[in-house]
Structure 1
Amino acid sequence: MKIGIDQISFQTSQYFVDMAELALARNEDPNKYLIGIGQKKMAVIPPTQDSVTLAANAAAKILTPTNRQQIDTVIFASESGIDQSKSGAVYLQSLLGLPRQVRAFEVKQACYSATAALQLARGYIALHPDKKVLITASDIARYGIGNAGEPTQGGGAVAMLISKEPRILALEDDSTVLTENIMDFWRPNYATEAKVDGHYSGHMYVDFFKEVFDTYQAQTGMTLANFAALAFHLPYTKMGLKALRAVLPEADALTQQRLSANFEDSRAYNQIVGNLYTGSLYLSLLSLLEKTQTLQAGDRLGLFSYGSGAVSEFYSGILQANFKQALMPEQHQAMFAARQQVDVPTYEQLFNQQLPTDGSTVELDLSHDPAQYVLAGIKADQRQYKKQV
């Protein structure tokens, strides 16, 4: 029985800041951001959106009357959780009007958790093939204003339906994993912005990729030539390019050309959104599938997942017949086209406009947020969510 990704969708905010403008405002050469980290635009998340609303807006795009009744598990993958106890998945079940007869929970391990959710879902579907699992990978990447991590911020959510006989990508049985307790990136409970050792994290990312990929090759007997494309976790797109370049010399010229060309398709969406943390790998996968003009049914894709701290995994999947028909590129392109560019002072204002941490009542202005699901404010220490018509 085939098990894998049956549907996939994406949501980000209506605002973005141009990376060249941000570079100039920080007295940096624009090419440091455009080429040095490989980013063009960065999503700016208003206070009316959080990890729950972003996830709900992404998931709503793929829900139908039929699959709503087949979903019996909701997994919320995030490192931008809104509560230390209650999962974002419970809010999600309520907002989306899913049946009460579902299990709903949250998973966390930096940017790896969506892959953990995917593997959990795969095992569950193997035992319950008549069911579907809804996974959302939803995050808002925050490092602060004016520091080295600022240009690698962003935010959004990817939603996936996992099922038997998937229409998009069937997962293969082999995967390799690696865990090591390192301090390349973390966010203490008392902090609203992440702590990161950028150079160290970049080196660890490449080292982890090389190790899990070498182990995968030894375990399966496959090489780079067996893959039509590789998709990477992309907190910024130059990081994935560095990992790819670390192994390309192992391949022949034709394979190098193919993998390099497909990498460009796989980073197109990430370049104009920024860092999604848990969703970055799966936004890259979505970008690859919706942009490609060469991939076809039967092609093998390799996926590298990395979550700082650190856990990584390399696994593969086979593209299914007519996979393009299960995608929604027009809807995603319309969302990108409707976004509004904001200048750097407006971006800074939105970044600093955070919810109170003392439980104070607040009502947010929803008039500028066109999303279906929004955060309306806080009352009695409870977030107030709203579905807009």
Structure 2
Amino acid sequence: MKIGIDKIGFYTPHLYVDMNELAVARDIDPGKFTVGIGQEKMAIAPITQDSVTLAANAALEILDEEDKDKIDFVIFGTETGVDSSKSAGVYVHELLGLNPQARTIEVKQACYGATAGIQMAKGHIALNPESKVLVLGSDIARYGLNTSGEATQGAGAVALLMSADPTIMALEDKSAYFTSDIMDFWRPVYSDKAFVDGKLSNEQYIAFFSKVWGQFKEKSGLGLKDFDAICYHLPYTKMGLKALRTIWDEGSDNDKERLEENYTFSAKYNRIVGNIYTGSLYLSVLSLLENKEDLKAGSRIGLFSYGSGAVGEFFTGILQPNYRDHLYVDNHTELFQSRTAVSVSEYEETYEDTLPMDGSTMELDIDNDPATICLAGITADQRQYVNKRNK
């Protein structure tokens, strides 16, 4: 039985800052952002968007009534959840009007959370072939203004509908994974900003890729010649390319040309969104599928997932016949074209506009947020979410 990705949805907020302008404001050579790390634009979440609303908006565009009835498991991968107890997925379940006879959980392991959700979904569907599982990867990356990590912030969510006999990508059985206790990136419970040892994190990303790639080759007998593309978790778009180039010598010139060209397609969306943590790898997959129009059914795609702290995994998927018919290219083109550029000062003001930490009642103006699902405020320590279609 084939199990894999049946639909893919994506959402990012309507605001962004140009990385050239940010570099000038920080007295940094713009090339360090646009070329050095490979970022052009950075998505900015207004106060009316959080990881719940981003995920709900991403899923809203792809689910029909049959999907809503058959989804019996919601797995929300995030490292910027909104509650230490209640799953962010429960909010999304209600906002989308899903079948109440469902399991709903939140999964956390840095940027690896959505990948863990996909692997759980595979097991669930293997036991329940008629079921569908909604896997969400949603985050807002915050390192702080004028910090070394500021240029690798971002906001967005990817929604993956998993099923038997998928229309987009069937996941293969062989997978390689690795865990090690490393303090390359972390966010203590008392902080709304992440801490990162950038040099160590880059080193461990490469080291984990080397480990799981080697393990995968031993398990599967596959090599570079067997892949049409490899997609990566992209905290910034140059990171995955660095990893890919560590295995260059294993392939022919044709392999190098093919994989580097397709890598460029896979990084296009990430370049103009930024780091979305758990959704980053799957935004890369989406970017490849929507921008590389001649990628054929039957193509094998490699996927490298890395979550600092750290867990890494390498697995693969096979593109299904007529997979492009099941993508939402026009929706995503419109989403990107409708975004609004803000100045650096406006970005800083939005960044500092945060919710109260003492449970104070707060009402938010959602009229200026074009998203269908928004955070409307806080009452009695409870976040108030609104689906404008239900008003």
- Please tell me the TM-score bracket, short chain as reference: over 0.9
Aligned to 2:343: 343
CA contact (8 A) 2:138 2:157 kept: yes
C-alpha distance in 1, partners of 2:89/2:66? 20
Aligned to 2:159: 159
C-alpha distance in 1, partners of 2:293/2:362? 48
* Structure 1: gaps (5+ residues): none
CA contact (8 A) 2:46 2:350 kept: yes
CA contact (8 A) 2:17 2:43 kept: yes
Aligned to 1:241: 241
Aligned to 2:256: 256
SS of residue matched to 1:296 = coil
User: Is structure 2 residue 8 aligned with structure 1 residue 26?
Assistant: no
Higher alpha-carbon deviation: 102-111 or 290-299 = 290-299
TM-score normalised per structure 2: 0.99
User: Is structure 2 residue 377 aligned with structure 1 residue 382?
Assistant: no
Deviations 1:206-258 (A, max 9, x none): 11101100111112111101000000000100101100111112110000000
Higher alpha-carbon deviation: 345-354 or 293-302 = 293-302
SS of residue matched to 2:246 = helix
C-alpha distance in 2, partners of 1:216/1:53? 36
Aligned to 2:369: 369
C-alpha distance in 1, partners of 2:357/2:158? 27
Aligned to 2:176: 176
Q: Which contiguous aligned blocks of 4+ residues in structure 1 show a shift greater than 6 angstroms? A: none
Aligned to 2:66: 66
Task: Quote the offset at 1:293 in angstroms.
Answer: 2.6
Structure 2 residue identity aligned to 1:301: I
C-alpha distance in 2, partners of 1:27/1:363? 37
Task: Quote the offset at 1:81 in angstroms.
Answer: 0.5
C-alpha distance in 2, partners of 1:328/1:150? 30
CA contact (8 A) 2:361 2:378 kept: yes
Structure 2 residue identity aligned to 1:369: D
Aligned to 1:204: 204
SS of residue matched to 2:148 = coil
CA contact (8 A) 2:70 2:99 kept: no
C-alpha distance in 1, partners of 2:148/2:162? 37
TM-score normalised per structure 1: 0.99
CA contact (8 A) 2:290 2:324 kept: yes
C-alpha distance in 1, partners of 2:346/2:17? 9
Deviations 1:60-113 (A, max 9, x none): 011101111111111111001000000001101111111211111100000001
Query: What are the residue-to-residue correspondences of 1:1-389 with 2, within 5 Å?
Result: 1-389=1-389
Structure 2 residue identity aligned to 1:101: Q
Task: Quote the offset at 1:294 in angstroms.
Answer: 2.8
SS of residue matched to 1:35 = helix
C-alpha distance in 1, partners of 2:281/2:292? 16
Percentage of matched positions with identical amino acids: 56
SS of residue matched to 1:295 = coil
C-alpha distance in 2, partners of 1:85/1:147? 30
C-alpha distance in 1, partners of 2:105/2:222? 36
C-alpha distance in 2, partners of 1:172/1:114? 17
SS of residue matched to 2:247 = helix
Count of matched residue positions in the alignment of Structure 1 and Structure 2: 389
C-alpha distance in 2, partners of 1:199/1:14? 32
Task: Quote the offset at 1:259 in angstroms.
Answer: 0.1
Task: Quote the offset at 1:358 in angstroms.
Answer: 0.2
* Structure 2: gaps (5+ residues): none
C-alpha distance in 2, partners of 1:55/1:86? 16
